[in-house]
Amino acid sequence: MRNRKGLTLIELLIVVIILGALAAIAIPRITTSATTAKQNACTTNVDTLNTAVEMYHIDKSLWPTALTDVTSDVNYFPDGAPKCPVTGNAYTSDYVPATHRVTPHVH
**Does position 1 have pLDDT exceeding 90, yes or no?**
no
Q: pLDDT higher for 79 or 3?
A: 79
pLDDT tens, position by position, 32-73: 888 899 999 999 999 999 999 999 999 999 999 999 999 999
Distances (CA, A) of 51 to 7, 11, 54, 78: 62, 60, 5, 15
**Other C-beta atoms lying within 10 Å of the C-beta of residue 85:** 16
Residues 52/70, Cβ–Cβ less than 8 Å: yes
Global pTM reads 0.72
Q: 65: exposed, middle or buried (C-beta count within 10 Å: 0-12, 13-18, 19+)?
A: exposed
Task: Return all residues near 90 (Cβ < 8 A) that are at least 6 apart.
Answer: 71, 81, 83, 84
